Amino acid sequence: MRSRKVYSLEKSKISESVCDLLEKLSAAAIKKSGHFMVAFSGGSLPEIVAQGLVNPEKKRDIDFTKWWIFFSDERCVPHSSPDSNYNLVKTSILDKLYQLNKDTKNYIPKEQVIKINSKLVHDAELAADDYNSQLVKAFASRETVRYPVFDCILLGVGPDGHTCSLFPHMPQLNVTDIWVTYINNSPKPPSSRITLTLPVVNDAHNVVFVATGASKDTIMDSILNKNDKTLPSTNVNPIRGELFWFLDKDAAKLVNPNIISQL
Ligand SMILES: O=C(O)[C@H](O)[C@@H](O)[C@H](O)[C@H](O)COP(=O)(O)O
């Protein structure tokens, strides 16, 4: 891992700070390769990013036409379901971005939002294979390596240390021969999901965790202080990339102050 930065911020500062970083990473990626390949998790993350990204009071200097949106994990539900991470990102970010920038057309083209195949949500294994093929197609023009290299993967962390849909003591954490795998007994409902595998996450140029709330203080102690490798989030260490943790004060309460970076 090139570097790890752990930030502990007032909750009100989290969205803006994460999006300041996204603005920087986006500009660098677009300059280097012509696009910004970013994967979103579900949970609280999309709303947190939305507050800083599609804010009429603070327009971002971002060329959204060059963004490609992927999902770090996705539930095997219809796109219209309230449980769909695509639906969450669409309603919290994509639709608002369209409304904010429809005059300038500075929004993400629909064909650059790579979502689960809604015809396959009845079969998580087929859906995972299909998403894997979609990744191959999307990254074909860029990649000569074994894995797709995302410019940024945005992750949340569960109170049990899961991230994406990689859960403690479940076999998906050890899958290394494919880019996307599936689970049908997720401890966090809904039970059927597809997820990026750990090697893909660790091949990203940048991985950004966002964790807020007192419910995350104990797990943050296990991940950052105790380095508990049974927890999927502890195993996220980008091989050539940068790792960022954005914590609010509640989630960072038990974290050793010596590992906290200053923004
Ligand atoms: O689809 C999902 O459920 C998410 O991708 C999941 O991995 C989430 O990121 C964590 O459960 C944290 O969720 P919160 O940020 O809401 O606690």
How high is the ipTM of this complex?
0.98
232 C-beta closer than 6 A to ligand 1: no
Asked whether the beta carbons of 44 and 83 are under 8 A apart, the reply is: no
Distance CA 7, CA 219 (A): 16
**Beta strand segments in 18-151, E:** 36-40, 67-71, 73-75
Pocket test residue of 11, 40, 41 for ligand 1, highest count of atoms within 8 A of CB:
41
Say if residues 171 and 238 touch (Cβ distance below 8 Å).
Answer: no
**How high is the pLDDT of residue 244?**
98
pLDDT of residue 147: 72
Number of the ligand 1 atom closest to the C-alpha atom of 43 = 16
What's the CATH code of the domain at 8?
3.40.50.1360
pLDDT score of 2:
75
Cβ of 45 closer than 6 Å to ligand 1, yes or no, is yes
pLDDT in tens, the chain (263 residues): 679 999 999 999 999 999 999 999 999 999 999 999 999 999 999 999 999 999 999 899 999 999 999 999 999 999 999 999 999 999 999 999 999 999 999 999 999 999 999 999 999 999 999 999 999 999 987 755 567 899 999 999 999 999 999 999 999 999 999 999 999 999 999 999 999 999 999 999 999 999 999 999 999 999 999 999 999 999 999 999 999 999 999 999 999 999 999 99
Residue among 67, 74, 87 nearest 25 (CA)? 67
The dihedral sign for the CA sequence 133, 134, 136, 141: positive
Per-residue model confidence (pLDDT) at position 31: 97
Indicate the pTM of the whole model. Answer: 0.97
**Domain region containing 206:** 3-261
> Quick one: which of 245, 79, 225 has its CA closest to 156?
245
Pairing of strands 73-75, 193-196: antiparallel
The count of structural domains within the chain is 1
**How far, in Å, are 155, 158, 212, 218, 226 from residue 254 at the CA level?**
20, 16, 13, 7, 11
193 phi, psi to nearest 5 deg: -145, 165
Q: Are 38 and 70 in contact (CB under 8 A)?
A: yes
Instruction: Report the SS3 class of residue 172.
Output: helix
Ligand 1 within 6 A of 79 CB? no
